[in-house]
Amino acid sequence: MSLKDDVEYVKHELGSDEKLLESAFKLERIYKKYKIAIWGVVILAIVGFGGKSAYGAYERSKLEKANEALTTLRKNPKDSEALAVLKSHNPRLYELFVYSKAVENSDSGKLKELTSSKDARIADIASYHDAVLQSKSGDSIYYRDLSAVEKAYIALKAGKKDEARNSLALVSEDSPVAGIARLLKHYTITADGTKEEKK
């Protein structure tokens, strides 16, 4: 390598170092100018991550306690301490447990309480089962087809065949109760094979 090449190489290296140094000074100026904001973002990220982790651990702990309480209640449904733990740690699961026991024991009082549940599904099915316990047809979104069959049956018993037909028309063909609906439709037909006219 010649002296001229050496000088060019040194100039090039010094230019690169100068640019690197200039970038470092720019970064230092930016850091000094926005130091509080940068540290604020870093601290918020750390606190947010830590808070999210802590909340997740808290929720897992609640879920585990609720599951333990449910296991205890399956063995002993009258355990009031386990019932209280389930109610405080998982209110929805508590309501489902109370609902299942109320249906199992035909407890109309508990079902009436559950009709005011914040969970619309629990309120709906509790209201439906309470009506069933009272030998009435209940309206239900979740038991829609079964409710229609029950209304038709009650209408048939009262001799209201048109009303029964209208209720049975609401039952879909792929419903689990479609067979019962078809059977009840036969009872709305007169002996000569025609549908009975309204009187």
How many folded domains does the chain comprise?
Answer: 1
Residue 44 lies in a domain: no
Residue 177 lies in a domain: yes
Residue 13 lies inside a defined structural domain of this protein: no
Evaluate whether residue 157 is within a structural domain. Answer: yes
Give the whole-angstrom CA distance, residue 121 versus residue 127: 10
Q: What is the Cα–Cα distance from 23 to 55, expressed in whole angstroms?
A: 42
Tokens of 194: 């025609």
Report how far residue 132's alpha carbon sits from residue 143's, in angstroms, rounded to the nearest whole number: 12
Q: Which of 151, 170, 149 is nearest to 160 (CA)?
A: 151
Structural domain range at position 157: 143-199
Residue 150 included in any domain = yes
List per-residue pLDDT tens for the chain, 199 residues long.
566 666 566 666 656 667 777 777 787 888 788 888 888 888 999 988 888 888 888 888 888 988 899 888 888 888 889 989 988 888 888 898 989 888 888 888 888 888 888 888 888 888 888 888 887 777 777 788 888 888 888 888 888 888 888 888 888 888 888 888 888 888 777 533 445 544 4
What's the token pair of residue 14?
């010094």
Report if residue 159 sits inside a domain.
yes
Residue 171 inside a domain? The answer is yes
Taking alpha carbons only, the member of 137, 103, 135 closest to residue 122 is 103
Distance in angstroms (rounded) separating the CA atoms of residues 72 and 9: 81
Asked if the structure places residue 81 within a domain, the reply is: no
